[in-house]
């Protein structure tokens, strides 16, 4: 089938709307949107501010219009308005020219790699670079003239989005089930059993409560900072990564360093890593069981090496669920919080028989694997969506003069 193409620039298919509001009540406006309410690479506006809370924003937007963050456009912030409101001056309000493009397709011209690369390339300023309508209006586009074909393109993108949404729902549902299950297991056990009072509250009668120093030994990481990371070398973990890259289990280590072994500390498979400093007490009350051998550990990380009496994954899962609040209560500090090895050594944990621990771990770990599969499947679908958008809606990126 031969397709007739419309070739032009962004201003040919949409307008930059600049209507302002002088009276919120008269305009029946009760919400406002700032850049902080737009999520990177997410077309849905899921949060906003209320006019009654106070704002100086006056630029009006209407449902169906596209909001694009012109400041720090590398953050890839663009969304579809689903309600009437006012927005920040750092947000451009774009409206499709319906005789040329169906309104539903415009957001996907804006929310794609080609457009964002163009916006970044036309931004100026060092601390807070901004682009402008004058510049992005010259972004070259190529779309089918036939709006029936435009609708077919939109339908394909929407179909992939529905699949992405389904994977996200499945992931969230599984995470919720996992959290409920962990709370049940760590409070009442894997089997129906009588309960007894303990230092941790009621626990199964055949469980014990012991201090961590009775269950293993502590040492502290050292000698590796962010500046020491490299493209190859020894596998390593920095304390910040315990918050940003890792969860209860570390199966693959991402960072590497060439810092000499003599200046570092090594952790092995079965060790448990706990941050020793952080911005909040709640943040540092976490643990990651290491399933990789010979990993160099940076400073501000406590390394716990458990005895045969406790499973490292069991301990990690317990700390990250029912024991998290108790552990955060031991953190010391004000602007920066710390958890020292001595303090951790006196921390009480529940200790079921080792075989029961392993059965609990097998159950929770299987849910973790399912959650990871949903994440990977969702990411694959996002990549497919990007390919579809870029192939159908992105011309070769160049600045029109």
Query: What crossing angle do the helices spanning 147-188 and 354-393 adopt, rounded to 10°?
Result: 170
* 125-129, 191-195, 263-267: segment of lowest average pLDDT: 191-195
Structure confidence by residue, pLDDT tens digits, 285-316:
999 999 999 999 999 999 999 999 999 999 99
Share of the chain above pLDDT 90, in %: 85
* Residues 139 and 241 grouped into a single domain: no
Please indicate, yes or no, if residue 390 is contained in any of the structural domains: no
Q: How far apart are CA 392 and CA 142, in angstroms?
A: 8
Task: Give residue 200's pLDDT.
Answer: 94
For residue 344, the domain's CATH number is: 3.90.220.20
Domain boundary among 145, 169, 192: 145
* Residues 238 and 130 grouped into a single domain: no
Nearest to 271 by CA among 257, 256, 250, 240: 250
Task: Tally the domains of the chain.
Answer: 2
Band (pLDDT 50/70/90 cuts) for residue 396 is: very low
Task: Give residue 1's pLDDT.
Answer: 61
* 184-193, 305-314, 349-358: segment of lowest average pLDDT: 184-193
Among all chains, which residue has been given the structure tokens 């700032």? Answer: 34
Among all chains, which residue has been given the structure tokens 């509001």? Answer: 21
* Residues 212 and 346 grouped into a single domain: yes
Task: Give residue 387's pLDDT.
Answer: 84
Would strands 272-275 and 234-237 be described as parallel, antiparallel, or unpaired? Answer: unpaired
* 52-61, 186-195, 283-292, 361-370: segment of lowest average pLDDT: 186-195
Structure confidence by residue, pLDDT tens digits, 109-125:
999 888 999 999 999 99
Q: Residue 373 to residues 162, 289, 359, 364, 377: CA-CA distances in angstroms? A: 17, 20, 21, 14, 6
Domain boundary among 145, 173, 196: 145
Please indicate, yes or no, if residue 56 is contained in any of the structural domains: yes
Indicate the pTM of the whole model: 0.79
Q: How far apart are CA 375 and CA 283, in angstroms?
A: 23
Mean pLDDT across 179-198? 91
Please indicate, yes or no, if residue 371 is contained in any of the structural domains: no
Task: Give residue 394's pLDDT.
Answer: 55
Please indicate, yes or no, if residue 385 is contained in any of the structural domains: no
> Is the separation of the CB atoms in 175 and 313 below 8 Å?
no
Structure confidence by residue, pLDDT tens digits, 37-58:
999 989 999 999 999 999 999 9
* Residues 140 and 212 grouped into a single domain: no
Please indicate, yes or no, if residue 43 is contained in any of the structural domains: yes
* Residues 99 and 216 grouped into a single domain: no
Please indicate, yes or no, if residue 259 is contained in any of the structural domains: yes
Indicate the helix (H) or strand (E) that contains 113. helix 113-121
Among all chains, which residue has been given the structure tokens 């920095």? Answer: 238
Please indicate, yes or no, if residue 361 is contained in any of the structural domains: no
Task: Give residue 63's pLDDT.
Answer: 97
How would you class 48 by CB atoms within 10 Å of its CB: exposed for 0-12, middle for 13-18, buried for 19 or more?
middle
Structure confidence by residue, pLDDT tens digits, 139-162:
999 999 999 999 999 999 999 999
Domain boundary among 95, 111, 145: 145
* Residues 216 and 310 grouped into a single domain: yes
> Is the separation of the CB atoms in 320 and 258 below 8 Å?
no
Please indicate, yes or no, if residue 388 is contained in any of the structural domains: no
Mean pLDDT across 8-19? 97
Checking if the pLDDT of 397 tops 60, the result is: no
Checking if the pLDDT of 76 tops 80, the result is: yes
Checking if the pLDDT of 398 tops 50, the result is: no
Checking if the pLDDT of 317 tops 70, the result is: yes
Checking if the pLDDT of 335 tops 90, the result is: no
Whole-number average pLDDT of the chain: 93
Range of the domain at 235: 208-351
């Amino acid at each position: 089938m031969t397709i007739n193409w419309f070739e032009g620039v962004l201003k040919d298919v949409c307008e930059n709307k600049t209507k302002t509001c002088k009276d919120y009540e008269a305009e029946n406006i009760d919400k406002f949107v700032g850049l902080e309410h737009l999520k990177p690479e997410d077309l849905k506006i899921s949060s906003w501010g209320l006019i009654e809370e106070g704002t100086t924003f006056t630029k009006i937007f209407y449902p169906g219009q596209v909001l694009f963050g012109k400041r720090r456009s590398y953050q890839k912030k663009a969304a579809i308005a689903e309600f009437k409101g006012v927005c920040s001056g750092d947000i451009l309000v774009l409206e499709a020219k319906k005789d040329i493009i169906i309104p539903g397709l415009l957001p996907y011209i804006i929310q794609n790699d080609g457009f964002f690369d163009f916006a970044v390339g036309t931004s100026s300023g060092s601390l807070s670079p901004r682009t402008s309508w004058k510049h992005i209006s010259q972004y070259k586009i190529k779309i089918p003239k036939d709006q029936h074909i435009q609708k077919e393109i939109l339908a394909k993108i929407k179909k992939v989005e529905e699949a992405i949404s389904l994977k996200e729902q499945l992931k969230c549902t599984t995470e919720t089930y996992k959290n409920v299950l962990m709370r049940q297991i760590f409070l009442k056990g894997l089997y129906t059993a009588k309960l007894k009072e303990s230092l941790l509250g009621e626990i199964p009668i055949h469980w014990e409560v012991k201090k961590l120093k009775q269950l293993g030994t502590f040492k502290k990481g050292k000698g590796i900072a962010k500046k020491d990371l490299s493209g190859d070398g020894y596998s390593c973990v920095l304390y910040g990564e315990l918050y940003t890259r890792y969860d209860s289990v570390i199966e693959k280590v991402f960072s590497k360093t060439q810092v000499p072994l003599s200046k570092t500390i090594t952790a092995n498979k079965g060790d448990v890593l706990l941050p020793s400093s952080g911005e909040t007490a709640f943040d540092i009350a976490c643990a990651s069981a290491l399933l990789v051998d010979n990993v160099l550990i940076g400073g501000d990380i406590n390394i716990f090496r458990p005895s045969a009496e406790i499973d490292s994954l069991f301990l990690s899962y317990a700390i990250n669920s029912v024991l998290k609040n108790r552990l955060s209560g031991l953190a010391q500090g004000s602007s920066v919080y710390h958890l020292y090895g001595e303090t951790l050594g006196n921390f009480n944990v529940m200790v079921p028989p080792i075989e029961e621990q392993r059965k609990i771990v097998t159950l929770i770990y299987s849910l973790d694997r399912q959650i990871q599969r949903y994440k990977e499947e969702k990411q694959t679908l996002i990549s497919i969506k990007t390919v579809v958008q870029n192939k159908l809606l992105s011309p070769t990126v160049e600045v029109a003069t």
